Amino acid sequence: MSNELKVSCFIAAPPEKVWDVLANRMEEWWCPRPWRVEVDHQDRRAGGRCAMTMYGPDGEVMPNEGIFLAWEEGRRFVSTDAFRGEDFDPSGPFMVGFWEIEPEGDGTRYTARAKHWSEVARRNHEEMGFTPGWMAAAEQLKELCEQA
């Protein structure tokens, strides 16, 4: 059985616009409302640090630290929490995340995937609300991209 979870949606906007929102306006769509995120650092290249902090409506604070494994401008970025910082300090690995777009008809197909090291990690992510949470974020991205 695959240890991957995935959500996908069609966005009625050109790939260039979707990429711009996806990569440059993360704070507007990344977390399902009423949560929000602040991007703390992004070195947009393979091996570059990525750090953000998510804030919940009841005062929750969830820092996320990792590295980019790939940054393919206009197409996808991939990150993991298995390592932290520019010295690649080992961390408790949970997943490798993929955020990808591709042209589809007169719009764009957005796909977000999470690959996990084990079935237990995948199941834990499912139980945390992966599908509704990541789909809500996808719908927020879609809404921003489809605005005139």
**Domain span including residue 125:** 4-146
Place of tokens 């996806």: 22
Query: With contact defined as beta carbons under 8 Å apart, do 123 and 2 qualify?
Result: no
Cis peptide before 34 (omega within 30 of 0): yes
- pLDDT 10s digits, 28-55: 999 999 999 999 999 999 999 999 999 9
pTM (2 d.p.)? 0.92
78: CATH: 3.30.530.20
pLDDT at 148 over 80: no
Domain count for the chain = 1
The Cα angle at residue 65 between residues 116 and 44, in degrees rounded to 5: 95
In the three-class reduction of DSSP (H, G, I as helix; E, B as strand; rest coil), residue 64 is classed as: strand
pLDDT tens digits, residue range 59-90? Answer: 999 999 999 999 999 999 999 988 877 777 77
Q: Are 57 and 34 in contact (CB under 8 A)?
A: yes
